[in-house]
Amino acid sequence: MEEQIIDRLREIIMPYAKDQNALNCLSRNSDFINDLKINSANLVDIILDVEEAFNIEIDNEAMEQMLSVGAAVDIINRKLASQ
Amino acid sequence: MIGNDIVDLAYSRQQSNWQRKGWIDKIFTTDEQLQIRASTQPERLVWLMWSMKESAYKIYNRMTRERSYSPKKFVCRVVTISDTAATGYVLCLERCFSTKSVLTTGFLHTVASSTADFDVINISIKKRAKDCRFLRRSFSLLKDQTGIPYLLDPMTGNKLTVSLSHHGSYEAIIFVRE
């Protein structure tokens, strides 16, 4: 399940990631800004893409934590579980 | 403390669609959204307030060593704005940082300061080329354990507070003169 979410995230992140190697080696520890070199303005696009792909709503509190793949996976799991 | 943020306007048009449904809601407060809607130049105001939030976040991050993605918690007030410059401030929880911005057709650059003493801040903005290490010839650019950059003056051994920003084809470095 977790791997499926990470695979889905990889597709979402692909157009915004500037570091190809970090994208290939995507894991829970991957940091969107420091590792994947994603522009902070594009983090909003990733959040909107995640909302659409998983049909969930990411509120402000959850968005604050959305700095890494691991945090994103936890948020997605939590939101899916509460549906 | 200081922070800065540069937006390459041509690059932002390629990379970001600020008119995408939900985009503005995630970043701007209700009041900021009203200002954007009322503006005759909404795109310019979007990126001006974005750069104000980003530059203030850089100070906040240095002060607290906390990372978060919470652009709505950084509340912008634009006090003056012309075709070429803007001033204002950003409120973040109990803190307030003054901002000063330069607006051109190519880029938009904001400096945030916790003291509002902008006269002591040295600003260098360059179009990124092969040789973008314009400042590093005389100073060494280093980072501390938490990833926060500083400049080391090899002559005196002094550490200078520095803030870096790059976006598209622009790179900005600001530091406090001794």
pLDDT in tens, A11-66: 999 999 999 999 999 999 999 999 999 999 999 999 999 999 999 999 999 999 99
Asked if the C-beta of A65 comes within 8 angstroms of chain B's C-beta atoms, the answer is yes
Residue A42: closest CA among A14, A23, A7 = A14
Q: How far apart are CA B153 and CA B62, in angstroms?
A: 21
Where are the extended beta strands (E) located within chain B?
Answer: 2-8, 74-81, 85-92, 95-103, 107-113, 121-127, 140-143, 149-152, 159-167, 170-176
CA distance B12 to chain A (A): 9
Cα distance between the two ends of chain A: 17
Give the residue among B39, B117, B105 at the shortest CA–CA distance from B78: B39
Q: Report how far Cα B107 is from the mean position of its chain's Cα atoms.
A: 12
> ipTM, 2 decimals?
0.90
Cβ contact A43–B69 (<8 Å)? yes
Give B20-73 pLDDT, tens digit per residue.
Answer: 999 999 999 999 999 999 999 999 999 999 999 999 999 999 999 889 999 999
Q: What residues of chain B have any CB closer than 8 angstroms to a CB in chain A?
A: 12, 15-17, 20-23, 26-27, 50, 54, 67-72, 147, 167
Residue with tokens 């100070």: B59
What is the Cα–Cα distance from B125 to B128, expressed in whole angstroms?
A: 9
B85-95 pLDDT, tens digit per residue, is 999 999 998 89
Per CB-CB distance under 8 Å, the chain B contacts of A48 are 20-23, 26
A48 at B interface, C-beta within 8 A: yes
Please list every residue in chain A whose beta carbon sits closer than 8 Å to the beta carbon of residue B68.
Answer: 64-65, 67
Among A9-18, B80-89, B116-125, B157-166, the range scoring the smallest mean pLDDT is: B157-166
Q: Cβ contact (<8 Å) for B26 and A66?
A: no
Question: How far away is chain B from the Cα of A38, in angstroms, using its nearest Cα?
Answer: 11
Q: Does the structure show a pLDDT above 60 at B131?
A: no
Taking CB atoms and an 8 Å cutoff, what residues of chain B touch A64?
68-70
Which residue from B minimizes the CA distance to A66? B69
